[in-house]
A and B are shown apart, each in its own frame.
Chain A
Amino acid sequence: MASQLLRRAGKLINVSASATKNLASSLAPISQANRSFASAAEDTNPITIEIAVPYKAHKCEPPSLLATTTPQELVQFFKTMFLMRRMEIAADSLYKSKFIRGFCHLYDGQEAVCVGMEAALTKTDCIVTAYRDHCIHLGRGGTVKEIMSELMGRKDGCSLGKGGSMHMYKKENNFYGGNGIVGAQTPLGAGLAFAQKYSKVEGVTLAMYGDGAANQGQLFEAMNIAALWDLPVIFVCENNHYGMGTAEWRSAKSPEYYRRGDYVPGLKVDGMDALAVKQAVKYAKEYALTKGAFVLEMDTYRYHGHSMSDPGSTYRTRDEISGVRQERDPIERIRKLLLAKEIVTVADLKNMEKEAKKEVDDAVAQAKPDPSELLSHIYVKGLGTEVFGPDRKEFTAVLP
């Protein structure tokens, strides 16, 4: 059993061990030395990076392995991913000090998926995901402050403190949450795409789910209707190889989630490489807008357990976790790229990190939750229905 774990751990780490060697060879330093950080942050000259891990395609042609990006974009990737990482770690310590309760599912390790997706999308495109949604909310225009407030149940949280960790939404930027039940968001995603097609909106929907949800029947139902009616939906499987405590090889007969769509074409992407993700999502978006449903499997990894109640070490080895962190960490990858291309200096990166830490620390100081929010938003229009507290003597309110 232990040897099995070790063998599979090796597989996960080695995915891009050879890739990092390729990364080194694909780096060509830019001739201008000592460019200032300020200019790098605004520099929109295109540069081409070769994507290290090749795509695996199902019923389609894979996109090119040459990704174009700009120094500005790479700097933005670093800043956003680092902010997300700090935010999740802050959530970890807040949970341990009991400021955050209930369920808290952290996204650290998977940041490249979110950041790469956003780089290829606009706010007209819709995203719906499951409960590992803090960073996706941030990517969709949320602030660390409203996320932290929501996690601690404060009234200025993004759902007024009534949703919690698993129910974060941002309607104006087409982020539909934030769903607690595994797999239930995939038909919602098909519905969002249906509405886009119905109202003739030029956008796609990304319905995100995990390797655990990939075995849900409603996902196959959603894929069928999406393909049947050519809905512009991209099903994104964030494969972090563990469905809570059960490894993918123990719960799925076929771990090739990008093939699960059968008649729906799919791609397998190295989910720890933000540029590879961006390239794949761009490709998928074009396909979805012109032809119909598409599946993307993001090969990614989570450092934390499934949630804060799960130590994350009973079903995998610590060596595996630290191995992936060393070889495939998405933030380190961008850091190496930025330094090798001499876009920023080490000091610049340290400044960015300091700023991110400060932003997170500031966001953590909040007000108390307000009990008046308990009874609003149950019905849309007021009904005047009365509600009684448990003893029916003291507490009555009229539902607004």
Chain B
Amino acid sequence: MLPESSLVLGLSFEVKTETGSTATAQQGHELLLFEALREGLEEEMERDPTVCVIGEDVGHYGGSYKVTKGMAEKFGDLRLLDTPIAENSFTGMAIGAAMTGLRPIVEGMNMGFLLLAFNQIANNCGMLHYTSGGQFTIPIVIRGPGGVGKQLGAEHSQRLESYFQSVPGLQMVACSTPYNAKGLMKAAIRSENPVILFEHVLLYNLKERIPDEEYVLCLEEAELVRPGQDITILTYSRMRHHVLQAVKTLVSKGYDPEVIDIRSLKPFDLFAIGNSVKKTHKVLIVEECMRTGGIGASLRAAIMENFFDELDAPIGCLSSQDVPTPYAGPLEDLTVVQPPQIVFAVEQLCKH
């Protein structure tokens, strides 16, 4: 049975099994998340000659996470452009190229490096459509791995979604499975708006079976991962998998949580979220962002404004600690939300 997700906004929910695969037994093909990204990228580059990739080591090296492996041989050096280590200028260059009609994809080797291009992304990328009175569109995709990895150190464990979320004009999406990685990559490339696609360092080797047919997901839609009655758990990226682990424990304890992967970090899919809140009346947000000023903070505000009367309990929010990520493994684990904490939080909220 093919999933119903399509370009239509709002009504299509896909019901998925807990591991996230959607196709029946032997249809489709299995691959890892980075291969899914590559598939989406290749299909779009074949379809549209104006699509090109700009970033460090994307060409001859094949990408530091192998997302563009083999593509430079196929498409040439101009379309898989190896840049010097100069994020500010090559992001600016991509934006300038996008203004003329090209569709570049900027790869940050690690999302944290894109902080060096913050001015270009915030001022030029996000705002040029507005300040030019609609003359220019910037159909750019900025993507790269972010999030807390395995002891990568503080500067390589950044969560940039919190910094970019208030820039008007930017769209932000986060992928979490091979299926949605490929679909979101294709949708982001086809979008006329600048889109930041957040991938996660630890998810690149996730394996899943995806359809053989071409599919494009909707950038602004959330994904219903597990329907339930007791509580709505909103999450994205790596935390989706921590939540699903916790759900196993919760189900064995007799709870029935509804899990939604919000996917669209800006703007939020308040339609899907609202429908869930109206059903369960309790919300727990589980995110990897810092507590202060993170996606969870904005999401709580949005839910409270729009669905206050539906809530039976205060909105719970589990976020990372407001500390630079330490190098030592046990300390690093303490900064990020772990499944036992999720189980505990759900138990507390369900007492209301």
A residues adjacent to B (C-beta < 8 A): 126, 128, 157-164, 167, 169-171, 176-181, 184, 186-192, 194-199, 217-218, 221-222, 224-225, 228-229, 376-381, 383-385, 388, 392
Contact = CB atoms under 8 A, between A and B. Distances in A.
Contact of A176 (B96, B120, B192, B220): B96
Contacts of A180: 123
Nearest 10 CB-CB pairs, A to B?
A191-B96, A187-B92, A221-B89, A160-B133, A188-B96, A191-B93, A380-B192, A167-B131, A221-B86, A159-B133
A180 B127 CA distance: 11
A230 to B, nearest CB: 11
Name the residue in A162, A163, A198 with the highest tally of chain B Cβ atoms < 10 Å from its Cβ: A198
Contacts of B83: 225
Contacts of A384: 9
B190 to A, nearest CB: 11
B96 A187 contact: yes
Contact of A184 (B81, B97, B120, B192): B120
A187 B88 contact: yes
Contacts of A187: 88-93, 95-96, 120
B128 to A, nearest CB: 8
Interface in B78-113: 78, 81, 83-84, 86, 88-102
B348 interface: no
Given A160-B133, A184-B120, A194 B193 contact: no
A184 B93 contact: no
A194 B93 contact: yes
Contact of A378 (B124, B130, B132): B130
Given A191-B93, A221-B90, A379-B171, 20 more contacts: A128-B96, A163-B130, A167-B132, A169-B133, A171-B135, A181-B123, A188-B96, A191-B98, A194-B96, A195-B97, A195-B101, A197-B78, A198-B52, A198-B78, A198-B102, A199-B50, A199-B100, A229-B81, A376-B134, A384-B9
Contact of A179 (B90, B124, B169): B124
B119 interface: yes
A251 B168 CA distance: 34
Nearest to A172: B135
A380 B129 contact: yes
B129 A378 contact: yes
B92 A184 contact: yes
Given A167-B132, A192-B100, A181 B93 contact: no
A188 B99 contact: yes
Contacts of A188: 92-93, 95-96, 99, 124
12 contacts: A157-B133, A159-B135, A160-B133, A161-B133, A162-B131, A178-B132, A190-B92, A195-B102, A199-B101, A218-B88, A221-B89, A380-B129
Contacts of B322: none
B70 interface: no
A184 B120 CA distance: 7
B349 to A, nearest CB: 27
B105 to A, nearest CB: 14
Given A379-B169, A380-B129, A126 B100 contact: yes
Interface string B253-273: 000000000000001000000
A134 to B, nearest CB: 15
Contact of B93 (A190, A385, A392): A190
A33 to B, nearest CB: 49
Contacts of A379: 129, 169, 171, 193
Contacts of A229: 81
B305 interface: yes
A394 B135 CA distance: 31
B93 A381 contact: no
B137 interface: yes
A184 B123 contact: yes
A41 B193 CA distance: 47
B340 to A, nearest CB: 36
B136 interface: yes
Nearest to A177: B132
Name the residue in B81, B101, B130, B192 with the highest tally of chain A Cβ atoms < 10 Å from its Cβ: B130
Nearest to B102: A195
A228 B97 CA distance: 17
B132 A171 contact: yes
B165 to A, nearest CB: 14
A199 B93 CA distance: 15
Name the residue in B95, B96, B99, B120 with the highest tally of chain A Cβ atoms < 10 Å from its Cβ: B96
Contact of A225 (B89, B134, B135, B137): B89
Interface in B248-303: 267
A224 B130 contact: no
A181 B136 CA distance: 18
Nearest to A223: B89
Contacts of A179: 124
A191 B86 CA distance: 14
A217 B97 CA distance: 20
Contacts of A159: 131-133, 135
A26 to B, nearest CB: 41
B97 A191 contact: yes
A397 B175 CA distance: 30
Given A169-B135, A184-B119, A188-B99, A378 B169 contact: yes
A217 B91 CA distance: 14
B220 A383 contact: yes
A262 to B, nearest CB: 15
A105 to B, nearest CB: 15
Contact of A383 (B93, B137, B267): B267
A5 B1 CA distance: 80
A171 B86 CA distance: 27
Given A184-B119, A377-B133, A176 B88 contact: no
A187 to B, nearest CB: 3
A221 B97 CA distance: 16
B131 A218 contact: no
Nearest to B79: A198
A385 B86 CA distance: 35
Contact of B95 (A126, A191, A376): A191
B130 A377 contact: yes
B222 to A, nearest CB: 14
Contact of B132 (A163, A194, A392): A163
A192 B124 CA distance: 14
A195 B100 CA distance: 7
Contacts of B101: 195, 199
